[in-house]
Structure 1
Amino acid sequence: MLTPSSVSSINPPVKRQEVVLTTNELVEKIQACSQDQFTGQLDLSIEYSRDQKWSLYFYLGDLIGCTGGVHPIRRWFRQLSHHCPQLPVYIATPESKQPRCWDYDSLATLVRQGEVTLRQMAEIVTGNVMEILFDIIQREEQLHHRSGVQLSYRPIPINSIEANVVSIRVYPLCLEAMQDWEAWQQAGLAKYSPNLAPKISNAEELRWQTSPAVYRNLTTLIDGNQTLRDLAVKLKQNPLPLAQSLMPYVQKGLIGLEEVKDFPSYSVKPATATTSFFAPSGNSASPERSQSTEVTVAYIDDSRLDSQTMSHILNQAGYQFLNIQDPVKALPLLLEHKPSLIFLDLVMPIANGYEICAQIRRISAFKDTPVIILTSNDGIVDRVRAKIVGSSGFLAKPINSEKVLATLQRYLPTSTTAQSQRWNTP
């Protein structure tokens, strides 16, 4: 939750409520909080609309935090990944005693520790607010004012808020959010939320209607698990041009835009920029999990979003997770940690999965270590080439729990004699 606990722990009385019928009136009400130097919580909700509740927190008219809407954790992860790429991210289970760092106070702690700058924290708060303001405006416009936004003002005592909180001026953000919405609308995207995830609907037709390079880029990029906003951060661009580039394929029915679930809770742990471990809590380990708590599984992929998906799956299964995002540093880290199985993404900068797999097989310590190549290009040529460089198996993206766990059961069985099985697709 991106707001100070000193604020969120208070449950102030509702001062007044009203219904805003237009987007302009809504923006005016938000700006009025700034002009009136409001200190408190402004709750916004749309009647009969799932996941359409937001809260903006003010301190003397400036924004100090925000919560709510769809994908609050995914939104947080995007901003953290974009503004603080130096921080490896790991998932904390509910039983874990590690501090949860996807909230305001944990981020402030990292600022005090020197892991995050105050400017980075302000950028994260601003990014969250901008996405929320855009979503509020879009949702209100989509409803065509059939169901207005209900506002609840909850004043909070000034002395209950720490004086050193990050504060953001709301007026410029409102103007920027309105401009972003107008540009999104003028591009013909009004009915599409940037929280939707593109997914290939007809791969064969897409291959036929595009060049090999375009098809390869699309199948590598789009896996149905990443939203337009997620992909924009990954590609270091604005969601608008990305959405515009995909619309011709969406209109032809080759690519669909679907709703996806939010991420589980995250934590941030200061460590090296290339590795992070996902250690399960020993208190809640089931018999199945206890068999694998000493087993390390590596995942080599430059994508932080794919890494978080894999980490969640392995964490829940009780494996220790080694994430390597820089393929150049893969071999030294593999030699240091000696994983029992290696998942390897095929498409990466500088060195691809084939090259890394061949390098791994030249090291005697990994002669019998299962190496599973992951890719969106699930073709016979890729499979043959992967087998030539010594891959043990082939896993098609998108990553999901069922496929990953089936692979682990096949290549990391309890009986060592079964480890001789090779080249069988899970």
Structure 2
Amino acid sequence: MSDKALKNDMTANTLKLIAEQLNVLCQKRATGELVVGSSQTKGRIYLLSGRLLYAKAGQHETRRWNRITQRLMPQWIPNPSDLQDAHMWEYQLLYQGITNKQISVVQAKAIIRAIAQEVFFDLGCYGNATVEWQEDARNPTEMALSLSLSYLEVEPDISKVMALQRQWQVAGLRNLNPTLAPVLKSGIDPAALGVFGKYLNGKYTLWDISVRLGKSVTNVTKALIPLLKKRIVQLKKVADLPHPFANRSVDASGSGGSRKAGSKGKGREGLIACIDDSPVILQTLKKILEGAGYQTLAINEPMRGVAKLIENQPDIIILDLVMPNASGYSVCKFLRQTSVFEKTPIIVLTSRDTLIDRNRAKLVGASDFLGKPPDPEKTIALIEKYLEEIAEQGQTGEASLSAEVSSSAL
């Protein structure tokens, strides 16, 4: 195969063509990118000496990464701040995790395989695509070769995805894509739809919901068909979550792009301050929150961090109740007595969730409670709840101001 771009009309089965091309390239021990393109998306399959390094579907790269790593390695907390560039940042994090002995090569390869399976499935949903081979002159390293998949490892995954694609088509889902997000029609109570209800808000793709419910994406989508036909639910495109280089977090030292007090960053859904003396808990919260598209302000010494709180004015504060150098109750009371944080939602983080602890926290001004270790779903649900309340209060304030202006004009 020459190093010139090789293009083929994908009038045949997309996955079959990808498999054929990969087989040829792997036999030739080729290094480069197999670019699968259509009018909707462009995926990339990276090869090194005929072995699969990583795969991307052209959209929802961060969503896919977060979804699969949290499912397969929920205790692993990658550190993207150590990476130098955004090229194949997911593979860099896997490499970093192995180097730091946080994950094994077997675990990292399991993540690569799971991501590749989803990518193959998504690419298989697109017809009339092209495939283009782009040669690369990179020299393989021993580590990179060990953290890659041979065609013998990849071939069963492709066969599995082909079977899933057939199920998808037989179920009459040919015109749908699992990267779409279902949205419930306004005025309908989500609780009336049982377990599905809380996910029908346009924030979770069909892939996301399938993982959260522990069901296949085909079965999840089939269950929604009656609701789609009745127009109770509709599917819409949803943006990807920001990758680590698109939205660096703010730390307590003020580095990493801190914002001016009261400012709202473009595309930012909320700045969440996390106050805890445990680096592990802070990293866990950071992974959960940034995975959902929020910025974080990490503070491990609460009294010294007050200045940073005032400077950045977070939308929500998550506060640990038990810390060696400061009582969370005292910190909460102090913040409530400060005019800047008088109305800021404060969620207390505690492993001692008793009635006495709750009442005491309420007395010093806590808004809500979160258990330790923080559960991702419960954490995001609380954040969304209070951000929605803040948005509603803002709209009410704007309406009141508009009324005052109109009255003055009269």
The alignment's TM-score, normalised by the length of structure 2, stands at 0.66
Partner of 2:258: 285
- C-alpha displacement at 1:335, in angstroms? 6.0
Letter in 2 for 1:238: S
Partner of 1:319: 314
Letter in 2 for 1:287: K
Q: Contact 1:232–1:238 at 8 Å: present in 2 too?
A: yes
Structure 1 residues 203, 184: closer, same or farther in 2, change over 3 A?
farther
Partner of 2:32: 40
Counterpart of 1:368 (choices 339, 343, 364) is 364
Distance 2:62 2:37 in 1: 19
Counterpart of 2:166 (choices 182, 188, 191) is 182
Other structure's SS at 1:224 match: coil
The answer to whether the aligner puts 1:199 opposite 2:186 as a matched pair is no
Alignment of 1:4-403 (within 5 A): 14-21=3-10, 22-23=12-13, 24-46=16-38, 49-50=39-40, 52-88=41-77, 102-140=89-127, 147-159=128-140, 162-168=143-149, 169-204=153-188, 214-266=192-244, 279=251, 281-282=254-255, 284-288=257-261, 296=274, 307-308=289-290, 312=294, 319=314, 341-343=345-347, 361-363=358-360, 365-371=361-367, 399=384, 403=388
Distance 1:155 1:284 in 2: 35
Identity %: 19
- C-alpha displacement at 1:367, in angstroms? 1.3
Distance 1:304 1:227 in 2: 22
The CA RMSD measured in Å over matched residues stands at 4.6
Q: Which runs of no fewer than 5 residues in structure 2 stay unpaired? A: 264-269, 299-311, 336-344, 371-379, 396-410
> Relative contact order (C-alpha < 8 Å, sep 6+): which is higher?
1
Q: Which runs of no fewer than 5 residues in structure 1 stay unpaired? A: 1-12, 141-146, 268-276, 325-329, 346-350, 375-394, 411-426
Q: Contact 2:206–2:220 at 8 Å: present in 1 too?
A: yes
Distance 1:304 1:241 in 2: 32
Between Structure 1 and Structure 2, how many residues are aligned? Answer: 334
Structure 1 residues 237, 158: closer, same or farther in 2, change over 3 A?
same
The alignment's TM-score, normalised by the length of structure 1, stands at 0.63
Distance 2:46 2:77 in 1: 28
Partner of 1:4: none
Structure 1 residues 264, 285: closer, same or farther in 2, change over 3 A?
same
Other structure's SS at 1:198 match: strand
Structure 1 residues 74, 17: closer, same or farther in 2, change over 3 A?
same
Q: Contact 1:202–1:253 at 8 Å: present in 2 too?
A: no
Structure 1 residues 32, 399: closer, same or farther in 2, change over 3 A?
same
Letter in 2 for 1:78: R
